[in-house]
Amino acid sequence: MTVNYGSKRLAVGAHYGLRDWLAQRITAALMALFTAILLLQVVLIQGPIGYDQWSGIFSPQWMKALTFTTMIALLYHVWIGMRDIWMDYIKPVWLRLVLHVFTIVWLLACTGWSMQALWRF
């Protein structure tokens, strides 16, 4: 990042906005791609889908890597979205801080759990 302190400090506007706006869209595109790949694999399965067929989708290393990356993308995407919601509707600074911290804890806990589930089997 560029210098943002001293005389170069940006005092107005949401200049971090473009970065997050772009990140939200790139992560969205990645998740849409993941959805398409997952859906294609589900559709290609013949007959009823049991445990073997379902978990088999996530067992190849490339699919684990893609799912892992999608989870990270999701984490970032949801953080930007939830932060925007809190910033729009919650005005008291202390409550906004509490909700920001809650969001981070909630998201990290969910991401950790999902990664554990992904790599365990």
Q: Does 104 bind another protein (CB under 8 A)?
A: no
CA angle 85, 87, 93 (to 5 degrees): 135
Complex with another protein: residue 10 or 36, whichever CB lies closer = 36
Our finding on whether 35 is near another protein (CB under 8 A) is yes
Q: Does 110 bind another protein (CB under 8 A)?
A: yes
50-69 footprint of another protein as x/- string (CB under 8 A)? xx--xx--x-----------
Half-sphere exposure of 20 (CA within 13 A, CB side): 14
